[in-house]
Structure formats: structure tokens, C-alpha cells
Amino acid sequence: MRDVPVLRWRKSNRSMNQGACVEVAFVEGAVVARDSKDPAGPVLAFPRARWGAFLASLGDR
């Protein structure tokens, strides 16, 4: 069995606990995201460069 790293999930401090949040964690070479309402549910993985481009595209919203 492969060791699964313990992830430190983070939620935006702008989420205001309204229940519609995405949590992210950082792993080697990637950023993973999940729905905060379903922590045992699916996880999406993004290369760090793509995640950075995504954040840059948001600007200061």
C-alpha cells in the first residue's frame, strides 16, 4: 500500500463560512482542491503553474 501524505487543507479567509467553499492543499508539484462540504469526496489536482495562472486570471475580485 502506498503512503498517502497528510494534507493541510486551507479555505479562503474570504469564504465567511457560507458553505459554498473550495479548500486547497499543496502537494509536491501540484495543488489539490475539494468541496469543503464533502471532505471525503473527489479531489481535483492541478499543476502548480496552472493554479498560479488561474489565480492571476482572477485579479483582485
Whether this model's pTM surpasses 0.85: no
More confident residue, 2 or 8: 8
Rounded (10°) CA dihedral 58, 35, 41, 26: 60
Mean of per-residue pLDDT scores for the chain:
84
Calculate what percentage of the chain has a pLDDT beyond 90: 44
Secondary structure of 2-13 in HEC code, one letter for each residue: CCCCCCCCEECC
Q: pLDDT tens digits for 25-48?
A: 999 899 999 998 888 899 999 999
